[in-house]
Amino acid sequence: MLGWMLYVTVVSALLAGAAWAAERSAETRRAPTRLYWTIAIVASVLLPIAVASVSIQAPGVGGTAEHAAPAVAVPLRQMTSEVLAPARLLGPSRATANLDGVITTGWAVVSGALALGIGLQGCLLLRSKRRWRTTRVAGVEVFVSETLGPAVVGLLQPRIVVPRWIITAPPEDQALIIAHERTHLDADDARLLAIAILLIVCMPWNLPLWWQLHRLRLAIEVDCDARVLRGGGDLQRYGETLLMVSARHTSSLAVVAAMSEPRSNLERRLLRMLSRPAKFAWASGAALAALSLALTATAAKIGPPNRTVSVDVATLDRYVGFYEVGQLAVISVARDGNHLSLRMTGQPSIPAYPTSDIDFTWAGAGVRFVIEGAGPATAFVLRKDGAADEMMPRTTQAAAVKFQNDLLKRIERGAPDPKTQAAVTHAVTALLAGKPDYSQMEPELARRVRGEQSFLPQLQSLGPIQSLAFSGVGPTGNDVYIARHADGASRWAIGLGGDGKIRTLQASSWP
């Protein structure tokens, strides 16, 4: 989710740059500019969705579905490196799933709050509208409010609303004010702003989109000013009227097209009206137009994260084979149509989809194959969110079969590794004391346990260990022990690395 949001933000920033360059190019020709910002806003929302929809996406990427082994009783907390633990090596990252959930919830809350705020603003506008009276100003029927306006309000039937003080303003000023608002009506600016705001509500975290809305509001007013002046308005008198309206302005709504804008925008509008075409303006205009096209092309070319590509069968076949996971397990890689299928000892197969000739991905993880020369891959690097990369060297089919047979014999025999009982007793005792012994853990497991201390109170609530009994060998080769506590029991699966340190530690508990 976070990667996709970053992708959308980058695309929006590029489109904002393209709209800015197009706007500056149009200014050299004294042409309208609102269209460029409208296109940028719509494209910032729809282009990433369209590109993603026509791309081949790896199923499950960014999802939260898990293929974990069945839990025993109530999950306590997995205290293991997800990269190194066979029971979850190929499963999606819990950290990724949790982060995606937080982001999705926050997104929904912010969008909902914005939608609610806009809805309340609309209700207040309707309530105020009941108190407005109608009159004619400069030959046009308008609403008269106490403070709101001059502006265009309403989406189904847009109408001009002016503040009461305009009724007593000089006729020349009234004519210019009404002419300005009539141009908003003719251009459907109120509906345009409403659509832009609705799109931002859909992606409130997209900061470039907010800037695009700011520039669209300015462009709408600049285009409106130009139409008033082309219609015969006096430049000096019109500028003075804008200053007068700005000085008397007291309230506005975010969703209406209004003559009065923030002072910084008013200054820009006045400067635009007073500016004159520069020498060689055509050259700078052409350069800016070219820049706009280049930025637009770049935005369209960028692909979403984890977009899959087509890899030929011969390349896929170079990756087929068996790969070692230390002394813990073997991963078999097979070709399945246009993608690969990975299966680890004791786990179901998981499809992996290509994102490049050597990179393959699934939910929350991926692999990169190591190629030396024209032969088969010599290894692959397992990459998983929040964990260190792990190199998995290729092994032979005979070695993989021997490993599998040895594991099956060990599971059938049900004999524990002589070192695991002492290791799990020491590890659990240290955890119960609130002092995990990281020196007896491999670095990745130690890092995980340091970052997941919230399970300790629940474990400590079971009380000290009264007995520890071997239960059997798990499907991935871990030794499983049942610990009896004063107030419950816990189940532990433990695996040791070649140096005798704990590489895998998984737990569940029940009262």
For residue 392, CA distances in Å to 129, 341, 477 come to 70, 16, 18
Q: What single-letter DSSP state applies at residue 417?
A: P
Report pLDDT for 220. Answer: 94
Percentages helix, strand, coil for the chain (3-state, rounded to 5) are: 50, 20, 30
pLDDT at 84: 30
pLDDT of residue 365: 78
Residues for the chain: how many in total?
A: 511
In 77-170, alpha helices (H):
94-129
pLDDT tens for 259-305 read 556 667 888 888 888 888 777 788 889 999 999 999 999 998 887 76
Is the Cβ–Cβ distance between 57 and 308 less than 8 Å? yes
Closest Cα partner for 159 from 130, 174, 135, 181? 181
Please tell me the predicted confidence (pLDDT) of residue 79: 32
Predicted TM-score (pTM) of the model is 0.59
Closest CA to 260 of 217, 226, 228: 217
pLDDT < 70 regions, the chain: 51-98, 249-263, 305-308, 326-328, 363-364, 385-388, 509-511
Helix locations, 302-435, DSSP H: 313-317, 397-413, 420-432
CA angle (196 as vertex; 191, 202 as ends), nearest 5: 130
Considering only CA atoms, which of 366, 400, 397 is closest in space to residue 382?
366
User: Would you state the pLDDT for residue 95?
Assistant: 53
163 prior amide bond cis, ω within 30: no
